[in-house]
Chains A and B, each alone.
Chain A
Amino acid sequence: LAKTTQPISMDSYEGQEVNITCSHNNIATNDYITWYQQFPSQGPRFIIQGYKTKVTNEVASLFIPADRKSSTLSLPRVSLSDTAVYYCLVGDNQGGKLIFGQGTELSVKP
């Protein structure tokens, strides 16, 4: 399973764009990249998933370069409620297990 590396923590202010980069040098050809958000005492919540280039939904964008060895989650105009831990995972979406890395603890300040 591909290992992921993310910054342990990040600080931001309300209204700013936040970019969290994840490194996954050993990503396999069939692997997708998935990001989850977790608040304290809750299960992780799906944010976005992608395979290559760019994916955008109503809450975030995911940028994946051609070599797919990294990915960047972009959160536009964060608010205090975006304070959470963000996890980047890679997996083949074929029923295989996911291994969580340490995640990035994002703190949004007023």
Chain B
Amino acid sequence: GAVVSQHPSWVICKSGTSVKIECRSLDFQATTMFWYRQFPKQSLMLMATSNEGSKATYEQGVEKDKFLINHASLTLSTLTVTSAHPEDSSFYICSAMFSLNQPQHFGDGTRLSIL
């Protein structure tokens, strides 16, 4: 079946560091990918929609200069958390659609901890 892979699965870094998270569709081409954020005991919150070859669409309240999204190919989208601070610590999850009229498939998430 369709597989979405995220890397890294877990990262710890110092405050002020920029962190890049990769989301790959392993066996299909994904023109659209989505990035979510999840805090402990809470639901997933959509951050942005990533479209291949165009700028990402950010949800209200999400800083586009803070969370840089690049979708340079049909199989890879990246989320860069720039100058990360402790409040950016969270679980980040991506998803992808491999065709219309099919459900989204999710990666296994990236646990980001900023010290």
Contact = CB atoms under 8 A, between A and B. Distances in A.
Given A43-B106, A44-B106, A93 B101 contact: yes
A42 interface: yes
B49 interface: yes
A100 B91 contact: no
Contacts, number: 57
Contact of A46 (B32, B45, B103): B103
Interface residues of B, number: 27
Contacts of B6: 43
Contacts of A32: 103
B101 A99 contact: no
Interface string A47-63: 00100000000000000
B100 A43 contact: no
29 contacts: A34-B104, A41-B91, A41-B109, A43-B94, A44-B44, A44-B93, A44-B95, A44-B106, A45-B106, A46-B106, A49-B103, A87-B44, A93-B102, A93-B103, A94-B100, A95-B31, A95-B32, A95-B97, A97-B34, A97-B46, A98-B46, A98-B104, A100-B36, A100-B43, A100-B44, A100-B45, A100-B46, A102-B43, A103-B43
